[in-house]
């Protein structure tokens, strides 16, 4: 190959939001037929750059070249016709349409749908064969899993004849197996001559699949290197600007008395489906019990039942006393005063109120606390002061208690939740997906806080779909599958392979 024109080239892209310079003089060159990774912490400017590329934002300065030709991209339509396809982190699919209907949405030709659909069916078949993208064209989106939905998104881009495919944090909601499948598909696409831009903050993905990687930091392009010539710690250092510990350092646990005793806990959801089918386990003071499992196997229901706002049957003892499992919402308040803190799995819809300011969120769940009271009224001043201290201790950036939470990056949002829950010095911490959508620097910090809490002799129940996280943090691991605990393992005596099998409902040898 003699030096072809880059499939995509950005020169000197600048973009400011008010005083914030989100992109500073970004230049990048993506060669055709390669997988090009863009890595950076949340808030480093990756999404802004991609939004410019897809016509959502207009750059203040800079030029875009597609296949060697200078191209203006004022809107997404222009991006599509330039051959750029985008797969967003949050899918943009119509839930009650079929795969085919979603495929042609916005690209129908003609008034009558029949012709478009039969054409799409033919095209879909050939695309599926070419790239190994198997989907059922007549399945409704609401009936298919996350991995399948993502394939539909990729097919949508290919259907619109995209040559350059941009994927924004594509594995955020996938299981490890689904992620592997996705990467196989990306490999196929690359072999067929497509160019792929992969935006992520996960080092492992970059190392596994990309040919070249560009690192962004604080709105600037910090480096572009060949993936084969760089190691994960080096990448992390460029990303964060300092040395980062990629593994958790912790002393062996010294478990104390039983803090939480769960016996045959069952949860039936609103549709009458049994989500939790009898979970039994203990958590002791001074240890971290990790619950591994693919999302949707009853972990969410387990956390909610323990946190008090979902009805359950069975028995739960906390510090030796029976706990009310009736699921009356106000129980959640009582749990807090008893010293049980809960970091929910989904911070955006449960842990935080996105339209509330940071200080208002620090009071969420603790708004009846006497410290926050001033006679009949709520003492907003006291909450704000408390918030400033908590934000300071948890290094939340920017340290603006009056900023609405939706304007913080994912990692900083999570720090706000953790600051609220951990700073209360709980005896039992229920924590779900502590680092979902959180950048490397913040992950290190969050893991340290969890271990520090354990070392103070507190009990921690950790639920995570990230096996790495479970393996490195837990003192004991319980694996959940289909609403049941498949078994407990010592992290030192097990590995991803065994846990992966258990997560799929199989046990190696005797259960």
Partner 1 sequence: MNELPKWAEVVLVPLMSLLLAAVLSGLVILAIGESPLGAFQLMVQGALGSTYGWGYTLYYATNFIFTGLAVAVAFHARLFNIGGEGQAILGGLGVAFVCLYIPWPHWSLAIVGATIGAALFGAAWAFLPALLQAKRGSHIVITTIMFNFMAAALLNYLLIGLLKPAGSMDTATAKFPPATHLPSFQDMFSTADNIMFRGAPANVSFFVAIMACIAVWILLWHTRLGYEIRAFGHAESAAKYAGISPTKIIMISMMISGALAGMMAINNVMGEAERLILGSVEGAGFIGIAVALMGRNHPIGIFIAAILFGFLYQGGAELALWTAIPRELIVVIQALVILFTGALDNMVRMPLKKLFRLFRRTEPAGV
Contact region with partner 1 (CB under 8 A), list: 109-117, 168-176, 372-380, 429-437: 372-380
Query: In whole angstroms, how close is the CB of 321 to partner 1 at the nearest point?
Result: 19
Sole binder of partner 1 in the list 177, 245, 368, 452 (CB under 8 A): 368
Largest CA distance in the chain: 78
Contact region with partner 1 (CB under 8 A), list: 37-45, 89-97, 185-193, 366-374: 366-374
- The C-alpha atoms of residue 462 and residue 58 are separated, in whole angstroms, by 42
For residue 320, the SS3 value is: coil
Token output for 229: 């010539």
Sole binder of partner 1 in the list 95, 134, 191, 355 (CB under 8 A): 355
342 binding partner 1? (CB under 8 A)? yes
Sole binder of partner 1 in the list 144, 295, 353, 357 (CB under 8 A): 353
364 binding partner 1? (CB under 8 A)? yes
C-alpha distances out from residue 200 to 13, 168, 170, 387, 504, Å? 20, 7, 8, 31, 26
21 binding partner 1? (CB under 8 A)? yes
Residues constituting the chain: 511
Contact region with partner 1 (CB under 8 A), list: 113-121, 181-189, 346-354, 499-507: 346-354
- Whether the CB-CB separation of 25 and 391 falls below 8 Å is answered with no
- The C-alpha atoms of residue 480 and residue 279 are separated, in whole angstroms, by 9
- The C-alpha atoms of residue 206 and residue 485 are separated, in whole angstroms, by 33
Burial class (CB in 10 A: 0-12, 13-18, 19+), 317: middle
Contact region with partner 1 (CB under 8 A), list: 107-115, 274-282, 355-363, 461-469: 355-363
349 binding partner 1? (CB under 8 A)? yes
Sole binder of partner 1 in the list 329, 492, 493, 509 (CB under 8 A): 329
Sole binder of partner 1 in the list 244, 332, 382, 400 (CB under 8 A): 332
Fill in the DSSP letter of residue 404. B
41 binding partner 1? (CB under 8 A)? no
- Whether the CB-CB separation of 362 and 387 falls below 8 Å is answered with yes
CA angle in degrees (0–180, nearest 5) for 318-462-310:
55
224 binding partner 1? (CB under 8 A)? no
- Whether the CB-CB separation of 343 and 431 falls below 8 Å is answered with yes
Sole binder of partner 1 in the list 155, 158, 253, 307 (CB under 8 A): 307
Contact region with partner 1 (CB under 8 A), list: 172-180, 276-284, 344-352, 452-460: 344-352
- The C-alpha atoms of residue 339 and residue 341 are separated, in whole angstroms, by 6
75 binding partner 1? (CB under 8 A)? no
Phi and psi at 379, nearest 5°, equal -95, 85
Measured from the CB atom, the residue of 193 and 381 that comes closer to partner 1 is 381
Binding site for partner 1 (CB under 8 A): 16-19, 21, 60, 307-309, 328-336, 342, 344, 346, 349-356, 360, 363-365, 367-368, 373, 376-378, 380
């Amino acid at each position: 190959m003699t030096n072809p024109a880059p499939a995509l080239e950005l020169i000197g892209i600048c973009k400011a939001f008010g005083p914030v310079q989100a992109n500073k003089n970004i230049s990048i060159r993506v060669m055709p037929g390669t997988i090009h990774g863009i890595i950076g912490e949340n808030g480093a400017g990756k999404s802004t750059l991609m939004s410019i590329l897809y016509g959502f934002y207009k750059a203040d300065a800079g030029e875009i070249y597609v296949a060697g030709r200078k191209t203006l991209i004022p809107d997404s339509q222009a991006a599509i016709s330039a051959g750029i396809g985008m797969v967003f982190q949050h899918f943009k699919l119509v839930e009650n349409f079929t795969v085919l209907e979603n495929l042609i949405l916005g690209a129908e030709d003609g008034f009558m749908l029949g012709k478009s659909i039969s054409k799409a069916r033919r095209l879909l078949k050939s695309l599926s064969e070419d790239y190994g993208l198997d989907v059922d064209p007549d399945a409704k989106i609401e009936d298919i899993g996350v991995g399948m939905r993502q394939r539909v998104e990729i097919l949508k881009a290919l259907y619109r004849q995209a040559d350059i495919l941009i994927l924004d944090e594509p594995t955020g909601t996938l299981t490890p197996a689904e992620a592997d499948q996705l990467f196989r598909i990306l490999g196929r696409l690359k072999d067929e001559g497509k160019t792929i831009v992969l935006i992520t903050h996960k080092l492992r993905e970059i190392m596994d699949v990309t040919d070249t990687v560009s690192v962004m930091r604080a709105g600037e392009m910090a480096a572009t290197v060949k993936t084969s010539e760089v190691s994960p710690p080096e990448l992390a250092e460029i990303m964060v600007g300092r040395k980062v510990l990629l593994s958790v350092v912790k002393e062996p646990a010294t478990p104390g008395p039983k803090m939480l005793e769960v016996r045959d806990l069952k949860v039936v959801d609103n549709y009458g489906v049994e989500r939790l089918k009898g979970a039994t386990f203990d958590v002791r003071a001074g240890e971290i019990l990790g619950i591994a499992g693919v999302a949707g196997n009853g972990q969410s229901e387990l956390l909610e039942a323990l946190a008090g706002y979902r009805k359950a049957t069975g028995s739960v003892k906390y510090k030796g006393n029976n706990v009310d499992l009736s699921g009356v919402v106000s129980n959640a308040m009582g749990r807090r005063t008893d010293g049980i803190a809960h970091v929910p799995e989904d911070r955006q819809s449960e842990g935080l109120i996105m339209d509330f300011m940071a200080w208002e969120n620090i009071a969420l769940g603790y708004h009846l606390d006497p410290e926050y009271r001033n006679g009949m009224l709520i003492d907003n001043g006291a909450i704000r002061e408390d918030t400033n201290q908590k934000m300071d201790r948890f290094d939340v950036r920017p340290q603006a208690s009056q900023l609405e939470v939706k304007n913080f990056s994912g990692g900083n949002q999570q720090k706000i939740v953790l600051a609220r829950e951990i700073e209360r010095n709980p005896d039992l911490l229920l924590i779900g997906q502590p680092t979902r959508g959180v950048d490397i620097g913040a992950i290190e910090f969050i893991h340290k806080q969890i271990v520090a809490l354990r070392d103070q002799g507190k009990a921690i129940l950790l639920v995570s779909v990230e096996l790495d996280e479970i393996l490195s943090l837990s003192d004991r691991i319980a694996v959940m599958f289909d609403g049941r605990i498949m078994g407990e393992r010592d992290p030192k005596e097990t590995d991803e392979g065994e846990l992966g099998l258990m997560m799929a409902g199989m046990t190696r040898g005797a259960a």
